[in-house]
C-alpha cells in the first residue's frame, strides 16, 4: 500500500487485484471485504470529512481509480502501481470469472440500469452468474430496508456485490450493508454501471491516460459536475504540492 493524502491505496495493478478477489471468492471466504475504486474525489472527500476517511480506512482495499493518484504513488516509491480504474476492474473481473462458480449481485443506478448491465455481462463477457439486481432509493435506506435487502442477498448465496452509486454515497452504503450480508466482497465502482450500459459516454483512453478524464466528464455533464471538479482538482493539486514541499524542506536539528 502507498499513502496518498493519508489514504492507503493499492500499489499494484488490475490483474493482481482481480486475482486476489477471485481466489478469496473461490475459497468461500465470507469476510464481507469492502473494496473501493477511489480517485481524487474520494481522497478529497476523506480529507474534508473525518467520518468518510474512517470508512475508507476500514476498507480492505482502496484501488487507485485515477491517474493523478498513480503518479503521486509512483513518486512515493510505488513503482509497480498502475491505475485500477473502476469500470476496467469491473470488466476484467466479470470476464475472468465468467466460467467460475462465483455469483454476482448488482446494486445501483436508476431503475433498469442494473438489469441492463446484467444482460450486457451475459452478452459481452459470457458471464451468466449475475443472479440478482437492486436499484436503491435516492434517499438513505433505513436499517430495516438494508436488512431486507441483505436477506435477499444471503438467500442467493452471493459472492460479490457490485455497488454503482456516487462517492461518498456508495462507500457509506457498502459499509452499512456489510453489517448484514455474508459475502466475500462488496465493491464500489462509481459510474461503471452507466458506462457499461451506454448511458454515459466514457473518455477515450488517451484522455484517461493523460489524467484528464475529469475534464472530459465535466464537458459531458457540466451542470452536475462543475461544482465538484472546480473544488476537487485545485484542492487535490494544492494539498499534494504542500505535502511534497513539507517533505523536501530541511528538518530542524534538535540539540
pLDDT tens digits, one per residue of 78-96: 999 999 999 999 999 999 9
Instruction: Share the mean pLDDT of the chain.
Output: 91
Per-residue pLDDT tens for 136-155? 888 889 999 999 999 999 99
The predicted-structure confidence for 48-65, as pLDDT tens digits, reads as follows 999 999 999 999 999 999
Q: Which residues lie below 8 Å from residue 108, measured CB to CB, with a gap of 6+?
A: 114, 135, 136, 162, 163, 164, 165, 170, 193
Whether residue 127 contacts residue 160, with contact meaning beta carbons closer than 8 Å, is answered with no
pLDDT over 60 at 255, yes or no: no
Q: Which pLDDT value is given to residue 224? A: 78
Assign 249 a pLDDT band (cuts: 50, 70, 90): low
**Which residue reads 461518498 in cell numbers?**
168
- The set of cell numbers assigned to 82 is 498502475
Domain boundaries, the chain: 2-204
pTM of the model: 0.91
Which three-class secondary structure string do you get for 105-135? EEEECCCCHHHHHHHHHHHHCCCCCEEEEEC
Amino acid at each position: 500500500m502507498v499513502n496518498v493524502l493519508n489514504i492507503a491505496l493499492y500499489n499494484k495493478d488490475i490483474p493482481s487485484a482481480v486475482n486476489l478477489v477471485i481466489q478469496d471468492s473461490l475459497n468461500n471466504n465470507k469476510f464481507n471485504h469492502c473494496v473501493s475504486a477511489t480517485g481524487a474525489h474520494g481522497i478529497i472527500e476523506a480529507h474534508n470529512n473525518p467520518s468518510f476517511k474512517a470508512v475508507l480506512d476500514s476498507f480492505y482495499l482502496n484501488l487507485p481509480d485515477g491517474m493523478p493518484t498513480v503518479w503521486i504513488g509512483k513518486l512515493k516509491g510505488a513503482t509497480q502501481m498502475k491505475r485500477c480504474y473502476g469500470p476496467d476492474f469491473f470488466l476484467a473481473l466479470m470476464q475472468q470469472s465468467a466460467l467460475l462458480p462465483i455469483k454476482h449481485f448488482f446494486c445501483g443506478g436508476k431503475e433498469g440500469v442494473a438489469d441492463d448491465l446484467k444482460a450486457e455481462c451475459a452478452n459481452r463477457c459470457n458471464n451468466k452468474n449475475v443472479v440478482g439486481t437492486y436499484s436503491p432509493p435516492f434517499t438513505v435506506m433505513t436499517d430495516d430496508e438494508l436488512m431486507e435487502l441483505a436477506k435477499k442477498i444471503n438467500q442467493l448465496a452471493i459472492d460479490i456485490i457490485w455497488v454503482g452509486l456516487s462517492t461518498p454515497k456508495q462507500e457509506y452504503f457498502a459499509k452499512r450493508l456489510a453489517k448484514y450480508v455474508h459475502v466475500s466482497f462488496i465493491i464500489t465502482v462509481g459510474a461503471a454501471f452507466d458506462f457499461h450500459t451506454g448511458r454515459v459516454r466514457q473518455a477515450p483512453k488517451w484522455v484517461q491516460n493523460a489524467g484528464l478524464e475529469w475534464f472530459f466528464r465535466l464537458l459531458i455533464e457540466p451542470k452536475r459536475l462543475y461544482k465538484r471538479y472546480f473544488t476537487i482538482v485545485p484542492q487535490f493539486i494544492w494539498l499534494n504540492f504542500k505535502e511534497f514541499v513539507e517533505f523536501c524542506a530541511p528538518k530542524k536539528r534538535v540539540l
